Amino acid sequence: MTNIIYKHRFLILRRIVQVGLMLLYLAGNMWGWTFIQGNLSSSLLFQSVPLSDPYAVLQMFAAGAIVSSNLIIGALIVTLFYFLLGGRVFCAWVCPVNMITDAAAYLRRKLQLDSVSKKQPASRKIRYWVLGLSLVLSYVLAIGAFEFVSPIAITHRAIIFGMGLGWAMMLIIFLFDLFVLKNGWCGHICPLGGLYALIGKVGLVRVAHDESKCTVCMKCKVVCPEMQVLHMVGKSSEQVLSGECTNCGRCIEVCDDDALNFSIRKLAKERGNETSN
């Protein structure tokens, strides 16, 4: 039992953070709890600290909106937070869509769908195209283009402010990830994930690989939602430096050889063939 918990320690923590945050938002709406109010687009922490989605603010800039200082401060706080942490911590630890796509990926593994279709028919670069396209559209339409279609916003609003047809969007994302494209939404298309991949490129918290301990079982690559970031596994000891790594910690949990661990990023010059700290 303790082993199962240990083998899922980050997963459990992530679910606690994700569900807990949604519950706090929900309590903010339902019972006026003042811990955190609003939603993931923009919120108010302790009735004083503004927090804003940097991507939504970016779209507002592109649309030519007058962006208030409140919003800029909120977006800067959020950006700085994830910039320092590194990787797509938002995606793995905060975003509620992650639970949907993780469930789809889990079911995909259990149904062994990947043994049928090995090669994924889409590029992981699509998200950057969508990111660029959303800013162009925001400019052309003079309105935040992604915010009116965002499955992320639909999901967290559905949870916090009432479901509507929001469940249909969640179901579509689930089925898309299950049958159409492995890690389809979070790993290929989502422009918010794309933006956080850019923001989190140089952050501090990094998964480090120790090649000397690795037995090349590849469990980490099977479970990783962004397996291209683990290109060094079994080859060389280095840190996972891609911003696309979500820092979810699944690879660390599934590794039976202690060859993967969280670490603090080393400065560029010290890097090389050394193992993690």
Partner 1 sequence: MGTTRREFILSTTRAIGLAALGGLVWGAYVDEVTANKLMLRPPGALDEADFLRQCIKCGLCVEACPFDTLQLARAGSNKPLGTPYFEPRDVPCYMCPEIPCVPVCPTGALDITKVSTDNKLDINKAQMGVAVVDAKNCVAFWGIQCDACYRACPLLDKAIYLEYSKNERTGKHAFLKPIVDSDFCTGCGLCERACVTQKAAIFVLPREVALGKVGDHYIKGWDSSDDKRVKNAEATTTTTEISKESAIDSLNDTEVLLDD
Instruction: Bin 19: left if φ > 0, else alpha if -120 < ψ < 50, else beta.
Output: alpha
Check residue 183 for interaction with partner 1 (CB under 8 A).
Answer: no
Which one of 10-18, 56-64, 85-93, 197-205 is the stretch in contact with partner 1 (CB under 8 A)? 56-64
Which one of 166-174, 201-209, 243-251, 265-273 is the stretch in contact with partner 1 (CB under 8 A)? 166-174
Map residue 32 onto helix, strand or coil.
Answer: coil
Query: How many residues in the shown chain lie near partner 1 by CB under 8 A?
Result: 53
Near partner 1 in 59-88, by CB under 8 A: 60, 63-68, 70-71, 74
- Residue in 169, 173, 208, 248 binding partner 1, rule: CB under 8 A: 169
- Residue in 2, 3, 32, 273 binding partner 1, rule: CB under 8 A: 32
Cα dihedral 83, 87, 89, 91 sign: positive
Instruction: Bin 218: left if φ > 0, else alpha if -120 < ψ < 50, else beta.
Output: left
- Report the chain's terminal Cα–Cα distance, integer Å: 30
Residue 45 Cβ vs partner 1, minimum distance, rounded to whole Å: 12
- Residue in 19, 149, 222, 264 binding partner 1, rule: CB under 8 A: 149
Check residue 49 for interaction with partner 1 (CB under 8 A).
Answer: no
Q: What is the DSSP string of 139-190?
A: HHHTS-TGGGT-HHHHHHHHHHH--TTHHHHHHHHHHIIIII-TTHIIIII-
d(CA 69, CA 18): 28
Residue 46 Cβ vs partner 1, minimum distance, rounded to whole Å: 14
- Residue in 5, 16, 19, 163 binding partner 1, rule: CB under 8 A: 163
Check residue 171 for interaction with partner 1 (CB under 8 A).
Answer: no
Residues sharing a CB contact under 8 Å with residue 144, sequence separation 6 or more, in sequence order: 56, 59, 60, 62, 63, 65, 138
Identify the helix (H) or strand (E) that includes residue 15: helix 9-30
Specify the residue, 27 or 198, whose C-beta has the smaller distance to partner 1. Answer: 27
d(CA 195, CA 73): 18
Chain positions contacting partner 1, by CB under 8 A: 28-29, 32, 37-39, 41-44, 50, 52-53, 56-57, 60, 63-68, 70-71, 74, 129-130, 132-133, 136-137, 140-145, 147-149, 153-154, 157-158, 160-166, 168-169
